[in-house]
Chain A
């Protein structure tokens, strides 16, 4: 079978399932008795097994199979969840991940998994033996179990009426339990064949799981249907057995009385359950979460079916869409400038309408490219768990705002810097439990990973309650590495000192560990973030902890700018950094140490004459009035002196290319309505 065309999908889905495994295993570790979570993990593992077997990756299939066995034992209460057991399962998941990554990078997904398989097997066997007696229980038991399996169906009033009516017309109702072979690859196809046969014989009035889920292969090896037919029980069974890969067909006839009593029982059961749950809620507040989880599981099935309808779209297509839309934005700008010149009412109206529609379109396209930061954050709990074990520390990772959305391009880049920062916090920030205790802190350290929107930016913060940054140690190190001069050291603020740890060639941990690099890491973090148009700030209190705050732009492609003119050249100033514009008299300009400043609302703001900075060919004489764009960078402000303001516009941010990288105070370029290129000013570089 040629599986290449499915490879991409396989890799994507495998990653998702592995991630789900990881997440649920972590939850399971906290609530070892919650079988619902085991079921979730089991489901992921099972799907993965099926997919990998189809694709011919035997090692993955083999390992998942063993993992599944262990999970199954847990599910059936034959095994208990212990950290040791989870460790092995985690190793298995790790190896699966490794194999999937290998496949993604063009490998064959082979890995020696025998030791893990053996470990899993040992766990499975180790506990199975004492209980073996009960599994080889008398045949009766098995039969009754099977009966109960087939009797899973419950009917609503409407279905009962149908059954009742069919009885009256001499039709009989069978509940049929169909089991497929374990290695059945195309379950949906088998389901289809079974259903086709059934429909020929009579009417299927009910199935469990629902038909929809059966079609999506969202079930284990067996399913149950209720069939209303005139055929005899044996014939139904015979016909169904002809479908290949069906291992077992159990047909039971049901009578209307049976059904009614069953229904009654069930509702009573439910009521009882509710009563019990109510009691528990009153009795034990702690168990509340657990209860809720269970309730969620019992209600989750219908919600899954309703769920959001989504389709998978190749990222490349979204990028193409974005590029095309950018072209459209440029032409929109062009149309706007043409219609302004022509002054035709109808044209103006149409252009205005088009602008509004493209505005909406822009929102939609940008939103489509937005991805919740969760896609990056979700690997951290696992990483932290591993690291805390390696470091012998107790650390709790709290994630806040994982649903915050960011442009895909930013998401792609932000992962590695965050890994670095978190590793840094765990390794250098949080102290060992003994030291924490001695310092009167709780033994368990806390690392908070927080994401939130603010204006046109997204902030990601990593906060720990660890040792904080030791000013003296950092300074000593920085001086010895030649990053700061000794004479300057005293005058640096605490924040400036903290920022030194982002300089290249810096590492304060006296003992190098393989957890958080060798001091090459943090400066890479800084460069990556800055290349994304973001900034990183550190604030730290010694003994209390540190806060790394990363500010990132929401999107990188379309931004609002204010166009300004300098002589004959047009420049764009990003709206996000503009506070306001003003026109000032030349007599209002003051001199402070060779720096021209103005008094703006009580604040002294330095002026930046863009014509001088950008060496614009000049021909005008001294002016009496100056147009000033007031911009800010954090707390600092500056006034950019320009010739004229043109107006606000949405523009597509384009890079100047690799040939012209790092041009001073220019962050990129854009194409104006008239087809000319305008440069975008990087205000951050102009404010010292």
Chain B
């Protein structure tokens, strides 16, 4: 799942969501954007915020917080859209803030996240403890599962 940049490290982007820190491998991050106008798309699940014009490409945006069942994001100046890719999907996710890039040694990643529960645990690939921070690795495969309208 996670891509190894050199033998023992994964380079990741760290972002905050409801006071927790999550990470995504840099290789899957296309860019980090400030909030721009989002066009609502009707009849989609509530966590689909809509679509944006990302330099000429219509890109869907999901609110990760509501995807995890943690309530809706309150959008403010620190909110960011992280554009991530998985296979040929390109999707933006709204996060509270994104401000760090880290190298995580692969051996500190624990695959079984027994510390967390709830809906979000379905999307977690592993956790890593570095210094005193608990970083949660996301399983983008599941996060980006295409929306089946009518589910």
Contacts and interface: CB of A to CB of B under 8 A. Distances in A.
Interface of A: 326-327, 330, 569, 613-616, 654-666, 669, 671, 675-679
B36 to A, nearest CB: 8
Contacts of B51: 656, 660, 669, 677, 679
A663 B43 contact: yes
B39 A679 contact: yes
Contacts of B118: none
A665 B43 contact: yes
B123 to A, nearest CB: 15
Q: Count chain A CB atoms within 10 A of each CB in B42, B88, B91 and give the residue with the most.
A: B42
A659 B89 contact: yes
Given A654-B58, A671-B56, A677-B51, A663 B41 contact: yes
A663 B89 CA distance: 16
A676 B44 CA distance: 19
Contact of A659 (B37, B53, B146): B146
Interface in B38-54: 39-44, 48, 50-53
B47 to A, nearest CB: 12
A168 B40 CA distance: 91
A679 B89 contact: no
Contacts of A330: 56
A675 B53 contact: yes
Given A326-B56, A659-B144, A679-B39, 17 more contacts: A327-B56, A569-B40, A615-B43, A655-B58, A656-B41, A656-B51, A656-B60, A657-B59, A660-B48, A660-B51, A661-B149, A662-B149, A663-B41, A664-B43, A669-B39, A671-B53, A677-B51
A659 B42 contact: no
A616 B58 contact: no
B39 A678 contact: yes
B42 A616 contact: yes
Contacts of B57: 654
B146 A661 contact: yes
A327 B57 CA distance: 10
Interface in B46-87: 48, 50-53, 56-60
B147 interface: yes
Contacts of B41: 656, 660, 663, 666, 679
B120 interface: no
Nearest to B86: A659
28 contacts: A326-B56, A569-B39, A569-B40, A614-B43, A615-B42, A656-B51, A657-B58, A657-B60, A658-B89, A659-B89, A659-B91, A660-B41, A660-B48, A660-B51, A663-B43, A663-B44, A664-B42, A666-B41, A669-B51, A669-B58, A671-B56, A675-B37, A676-B53, A677-B51, A677-B52, A677-B58, A679-B39, A679-B51
A664 B53 CA distance: 21
Nearest to B39: A677
B133 to A, nearest CB: 30
Give the 9 A-B CB pairs with smallest separation, nearest first.
A614-B42, A677-B39, A664-B43, A669-B58, A654-B58, A659-B60, A671-B53, A660-B60, A676-B37
B90 interface: yes
A673 to B, nearest CB: 11
A666 B147 contact: no
B60 to A, nearest CB: 5
A684 B150 CA distance: 19
A95 B131 CA distance: 68
Contacts of A654: 57-58
Interface in B96-151: 144, 146-147, 149
Contacts of B60: 656-657, 659-660
A180 to B, nearest CB: 52
A654 B58 CA distance: 7
A656 B91 CA distance: 11
Contacts of B52: 677
Contacts, number: 81
Nearest to B148: A662
Contacts of A613: 42
Contacts of B91: 657, 659
B141 to A, nearest CB: 13
Contacts of A655: 58
Contacts of A676: 37, 39, 53
Contacts of A660: 41, 44, 48, 51, 60, 146-147
B42 to A, nearest CB: 4
Nearest to B88: A658
Of B41, B48, B51, most buried by chain A (CB within 10 Å of CB) is: B51
A418 B146 CA distance: 31
A660 B39 CA distance: 13
A515 B39 CA distance: 48
A215 B103 CA distance: 63
B81 to A, nearest CB: 14
A677 B38 CA distance: 8
A264 B141 CA distance: 84
B116 to A, nearest CB: 25
A238 B147 CA distance: 80
A662 B41 CA distance: 12
Given A656-B58, A677-B51, A663 B149 contact: yes
B145 to A, nearest CB: 9
A615 B50 CA distance: 13
Contacts of B37: 675-677
A330 B43 CA distance: 27
A607 B50 CA distance: 26
A616 B91 CA distance: 23
A654 B50 CA distance: 14
A659 B58 contact: no
Contacts of B149: 661-664
A616 to B, nearest CB: 7
A665 B146 CA distance: 18
A671 B43 contact: no
A406 B103 CA distance: 52
Contacts of B146: 658-661
Interface string B4-20: 00000000000000000
Nearest to B50: A677
A664 to B, nearest CB: 4
Nearest to A616: B42
A258 B85 CA distance: 80
A614 B40 CA distance: 10
B122 to A, nearest CB: 18
B125 to A, nearest CB: 20
B93 to A, nearest CB: 11
A567 to B, nearest CB: 11
Contacts of A663: 41-44, 149
Contacts of B88: 658
Nearest to B146: A659
B142 to A, nearest CB: 13
A546 B39 CA distance: 45
Given A657-B89, A660-B51, A675-B53, A666 B58 contact: no
Contacts of B58: 654-657, 669, 671, 677
Contacts of B59: 657
A666 B42 contact: yes
A248 B103 CA distance: 76
Nearest to B55: A327
Contacts of A657: 58-60, 89-91
Contacts of B144: 659
